[in-house]
């Protein structure tokens, strides 16, 4: 049974289990520091499909299927799929998962969607509304670039604060029982908008949302950063990570070296020319569903806060002069 | 506590209450058969904003605020907002609701989003994860037309099967206790795709999904259409409604006159030139949060199935030759 704690944290009394997880990525992501930890690395960004959008759907299908296989489950055993992506009308999820004909509850939190999906799955399983839920998210550099920015053929220059959308998908299967990694709690993010308008500086837009959620969770649970082995943000990357630490320091919270960021972990910024780091719904999802859950499963970490961040804008809102609202959803992961 | 029933239905044992609800609409919707039942009718489709997208955000803000006010709640008492819309990256919700700074869990089920949001709110409240949840969705004829089809200035001709996107928003506040209308159960939709590729015939694409969900719910609960005062679909409109009844008749289920459709209720097709009927995230939401909940509150109806339907496509998927997957989420509403 989910139990509320403090203002806005929900503790899962049955601690739903990550029954299986998988991450599949593109070539560039496979060449990064975490490359050996992924379940599959596609050498061709089309994944054999006729369009990049169809390729992104293929990524979701692959991650979903592999997570199920690793857990020894079939698609028909999944009660609900919580899925999302960055494409208009979330078509990577819809088309990638339609053949499985499972109840689909589409989630949209931009790059925070993997944490939002995990939080939903945890509440559904912990409450008895579901036995088994799947969570899947994805992004693809080529679909995001042409939808949000410019045609790839244009070869636009990118400022140093820009981030590189990951070609990746991560999926986790959530159920009850067994040892392994568990979802202990969740804290949903509020929309925070400090007025950043530079669509090439998502890290700056998202950092205040991450700081807000982390601070509220620590207050709700009466814990300190020292109580966790790692505090891992989604994709604040280089610029946003510095800002997050500044914002939290102002509130008397020092994350120190236990702060990690998926956008900084996925790529080698020295060698891979990704400017400020990685981003996209697939960035935090693929790092979670390989490196992070792996370290928890091997008990190298015991207690981790995972806070995926999302910039809730669109090209239309940017063109209309709007600033960039952001959100950050937190899940607490423990290994037992 | 949510309890599973049958294959895929969840019964809410505490029967979360609709604490308040409101619907605000545009001029054309206000001139329709349900016009007098709406909380507010905007005479100007810009709602005083500089763009239609900002106007749609204003619709959501207005519906959200009015539902809260009618229930006697303040925004700070809302634990979670489940919101969504048809715009790319759901910006109507994000920008419309950001000022309230409440935890936002973005939902995407196209025109089915209002039912999906109600289902999520019901599970959260019934399980104890939340005390009070708000559900909000919207659509706007002008934002949808230019995003999905053509610039309005182009004045494109529409085939008879086309539907008219409602300029409307509906919001419901869900909590525990009190008399009134309650959410008794939910049944989430599966993605159903029978290969319809005509983006001007959404009703045909969505009817199979509605039939699938209604049939599964009746099987799960061992009930017949006669057990309900009304079985109300989201926006199948004229074409989809006929198909739904054909599909269910094939399975031995006769809805008869208790079948109603929000797309057919919102407009007067004889006088209002909307072709097959209304559609959009705001269509089912505004009909629910005025007419349907009103009849339940006045106990003219006691037991209603509300099944909002969504077409999970995008202009990009249509251009790439994809068919239209659809989904339909069901909530059972009872008055006591």
**Closest chain B residue to A327 measured between Cα atoms?**
B104
**Cβ-nearest to B89 among A10, A192, A312:** A312
Q: B305: distance to nearest CA of chain A, Å?
A: 18
Q: How far apart are CA A105 and CA B116, in angstroms?
A: 7
Of A172, A184, A181, nearest to A132 by C-alpha is: A172
For residues B296 and A67, what is the distance between their CA atoms, to the nearest angstrom?
A: 44
Taking all residues of chain B, what is their mean pLDDT, rounded to a whole number?
A: 96
Q: Do B128 and A188 touch (CB under 8 A)?
A: no
Q: Quick one: CA torsion of B101, B106, B182, B6, rounded to 10 degrees?
A: -150
Find the DSSP H helices in A251-335. 262-265, 269-272, 281-287, 293-297, 315-319
pLDDT at A24: 98
pLDDT string in tens for chain A (336-residue length):
999 999 999 999 999 999 999 999 999 999 999 999 999 999 998 999 999 999 999 999 999 999 999 999 999 999 999 999 999 999 999 999 999 999 999 999 999 999 999 999 999 999 999 999 999 999 999 999 889 888 888 888 888 888 999 999 999 999 998 889 999 999 999 999 999 998 888 899 999 999 999 999 999 999 999 999 999 999 999 999 999 999 999 999 999 999 999 999 999 999 998 999 999 999 999 999 999 999 999 999 999 999 999 999 999 999 999 999 999 999 999 998
Rounded distance between C-alpha atoms, residue B221 and residue B12, angstroms: 13
DSSP string across B68-91:
HHHHT--GGG-SEEEEEESSGGGH
**What is the distance between the alpha carbons of residues A322 and B212, in angstroms, rounded to a whole number?**
41
What is the chain B residue with the closest CA to A318? Answer: B91
C-alpha closest to that of B69 among B165, B134, B13: B134
Taking residues B191-212, what's their average pLDDT? 93
pLDDT classification of B149: cutoffs 50, 70, 90: confident
Place of tokens 């579901």: A130
The beta strands (E) that lie in B29-167 are given as: 40-41, 80-85, 104-108, 133-139, 164-165
Mutation for testing the A interface, residue in B11, B104, B202 having most A CBs under 10 Å? B104
Question: What pairs with residue A308 in β-bridges?
Answer: A329
Q: How many Cβ pairs closer than 8 A exist between chain A and B?
A: 184
pLDDT band at residue B151 under the 50/70/90 scheme: confident
Residue of chain A whose Cα is closest to the Cα of B80:
A188
pLDDT level of residue B159 (50, 70, 90 thresholds)? confident
- What's the alpha-carbon Rg for chain B, to the nearest Å? 18
CA A162 to chain centre: 18
Model confidence at B111, in pLDDT bands (50, 70, 90)? very high
Disruptive mutation site among A12, A86, A92, A94 for chain B (greatest number of B CBs within 10 Å): A94
Q: What is the pLDDT of residue A146?
A: 87
Residue A152: predicted pLDDT: 83
- Over residues B219-240, the pLDDT tens digits come to 999 999 999 999 999 999 999 9
Instruction: Give the separation between CA A16 and CA A333, rounded to whole angstroms.
Output: 10
The answer to whether B295 touches B151, Cβ cutoff 8 Å, is no
Structure tokens at A96: 């990638």
At residue B157, the pLDDT reads 84
Question: Is 90 exceeded by the pLDDT of residue B146?
Answer: no
pLDDT of residue A204: 92
Contact A95 B322 (CB under 8 A): yes
Number of residues written out for chain B: 336
């Amino acid at each position: 049974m989910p139990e509320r704690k403090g203002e806005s944290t929900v503790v899962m009394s049955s601690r739903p289990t990550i029954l299986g997880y998988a991450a599949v990525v593109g070539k560039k992501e496979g060449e990064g520091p975490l490359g050996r930890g992924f379940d599959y690395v596609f050498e061709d960004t089309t994944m054999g499909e006729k369009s990049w959008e169809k390729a992104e759907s293929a990524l979701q299908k692959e991650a979903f299927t592999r997570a199920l296989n690793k857990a020894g489950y079939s698609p028909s055993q999944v009660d609900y799929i919580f899925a999302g992506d960055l494409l208009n009308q979330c078509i990577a999820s819809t088309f990638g998962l339609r053949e499985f004909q499972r109840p689909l509850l589409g989630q949209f939190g931009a790059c925070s969607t993997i944490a939002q999906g995990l939080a939903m799955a945890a509440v559904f399983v912990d409450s008895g509304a579901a036995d088994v839920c799947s969570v899947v998210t994805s992004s693809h550099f080529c679909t995001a670039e042409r939808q949000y920015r410019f045609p790839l053929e244009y070869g636009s220059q990118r400022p140093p604060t820009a981030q590189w959308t990951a070609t990746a998908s991560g999926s986790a299967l959530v159920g009850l029982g067994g040892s392994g990694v568990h979802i202990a709690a969740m804290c949903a993010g509020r929309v925070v908008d400090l007025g950043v308008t530079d669509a090439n500086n998502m890290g700056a837009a998202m950092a205040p949302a991450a700081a807000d959620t982390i601070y509220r969770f620590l207050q709700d649970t009466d814990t300190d950063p020292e109580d966790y082995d790692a505090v891992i943000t989604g994709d604040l990357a280089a610029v946003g990570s510095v800002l997050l630490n500044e914002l939290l320091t102002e509130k008397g919270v020092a994350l120190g070296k236990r702060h990690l960021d998926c956008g900084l972990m996925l790529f080698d910024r020295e060698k891979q020319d990704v400017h400020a780091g990685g981003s996209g719904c697939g960035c935090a999802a693929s790092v979670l569903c390989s490196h992070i859950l792996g370290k928890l499963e091997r008990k190298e970490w015991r207690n981790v806060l995972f806070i995926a961040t999302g910039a809730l804008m669109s090209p239309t809102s940017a063109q209309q002069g709007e600033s960039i609202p952001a959100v950050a959803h937190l899940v607490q992961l423990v290994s037992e």
